[in-house]
Chains A and B, each alone.
Chain A
């Protein structure tokens, strides 16, 4: 192989796309030709530099991606494009989402928890100074629930508590903690474990699967944890394991008293 032949393969060689035979021939030439060896080293450096420059991010890319994900979550998961009226869409999308979950088992609790999550996704969350914060849970909920709630643990890593408010799950009153974690909106519902009486499906599932399990599919999931006297459901677009971990952290950090 001569220098001319070698240079004809420059592009594919840079891309590691030459067939084995050609690669061997090229390597052979490189061993004997200082000029080509130097050329290829320089081309490689330029190519890498160019690729880095082409792939470099611009200011605002992260914020842009967050908006894309958020719009994706809202429109795709909860509003099928074929249905125009938003309210109808939300109900139907929820029905569709729940339909892929087990029809028996935890679906009674899962259904109300996810319905609420779907609803809250459309409300803006407070940011910055308006955020409740983990230490503010007790004040935010004082006198608004049949039980008192305070946060005793350290703040969960990376989880911002934006809002705490009471909410109804069927005839049960629950504390709804709306959190942000890695740009994902989460609803974390906290209720006394005794409330399981109102959700026989979920109670059976706990009896069968232990104190922690998750269900859901296609991006939207719920993690349920029973720990101490607390029952916690974390809902959102995280993996089941992440939701369970989140629910576990809240179940351990929350002090719920009748």
Chain B
């Protein structure tokens, strides 16, 4: 019997997230095309194993993540699958509460973030691979904690830890960068909020 949907019918709606995720994850930009192509090829050969109605998105992102980590490794980038969560995972709120600059970023993220793209790319690049992929699988691919854990082959608890760390680092870096570039006023002790 003819399948109701072709493989590409499944993949096409994910085009945007797949490209964005690959672009943000890969160490070498010229790898994006090859890695996506290889991901489609792998997914296609395994497509008969994919069960119609289950989460195709999570399944494809798992394959893509694997291809990306391999490609980065080929360029000598250390991409250990698990960076040990030595200390208790930092609480997003706890680390950021002390940062007054962050508080200002929080007040008006829209206008500032647009001008922070270079800083965002740099801050992302500075994150260890598991933190970066946990963050991007969540925010670009829209995967749940359980799906991200499955894609990265790590426990759900680790996803929560990585995600929390990635978020606070990213926010802190962005706030610092915004101050550096004069996009946010430097917070001074006892300063009044601008009206």
B5 at interface by CB-CB < 8 Å: yes
A139 at interface by CB-CB < 8 Å: no
Main SS of chain A's interface residues? Answer: helix
Closest to A65 in B: B15
Q: How many angstroms from the CA of A215 to the CA of B2 in the assembled complex?
A: 7
Q: How many angstroms from the CA of A39 to the CA of B10 in the assembled complex?
A: 39
> Are B167's CB and A11's CB within 8 A?
yes
Query: Which one of A70-78, A118-126, A149-157 is at the interface?
Result: A70-78
> Are A237's CB and B8's CB within 8 A?
yes
| Distance of A77 from chain B, by nearest CB (Å) | 8
Q: How many angstroms from the CA of A57 to the CA of B144 in the assembled complex?
A: 22
Which interface class (under 10, 10 to 19, 20 to 34, 35 or more) fits B? 35 or more
> Are A8's CB and B140's CB within 8 A?
no
> Are A237's CB and B6's CB within 8 A?
yes
Q: Which of B23, B91, B106 contacts A46 (CB 8 A)?
A: B106
What count of chain A residues pass the 8 Å CB interface test? 43
Contact (A57, B20) CB under 8 Å given A214-B2, A218-B47, A237-B6: yes
| Distance of A23 from chain B, by nearest CB (Å) | 14
Chain B residues with Cβ below 8 Å from A68 are 33, 36-37, 40
> Are B2's CB and A72's CB within 8 A?
no
A67 at interface by CB-CB < 8 Å: yes
A7 at interface by CB-CB < 8 Å: yes
A54 at interface by CB-CB < 8 Å: yes
Contact (A64, B32) CB under 8 Å given A17-B145, A214-B2, A218-B47: yes
Those 5 A-B pairs whose CB atoms lie nearest each other, nearest first: A7-B93, A51-B139, A46-B109, A72-B40, A49-B109
Residues of A within 8 A of B (CB): 7-8, 10-12, 15, 17, 39, 42-43, 45-47, 49-51, 53-58, 61, 64-65, 67-69, 71-72, 75-76, 214-219, 221, 237-240
Q: List 21 A-B contacts (CB under 8 A).
A: A7-B94, A11-B160, A11-B163, A39-B93, A42-B106, A49-B110, A49-B113, A51-B139, A54-B20, A54-B136, A54-B140, A55-B139, A61-B19, A64-B19, A68-B36, A72-B37, A72-B41, A214-B2, A217-B3, A237-B8, A239-B6
Residues of B within 8 A of A (CB): 2-9, 15-17, 19-20, 23-24, 32-33, 36-37, 40-41, 44-45, 47, 91-94, 97, 105-107, 109-110, 113-114, 116-117, 120, 124, 135-136, 138-140, 144-145, 160, 163-164, 167, 170-171
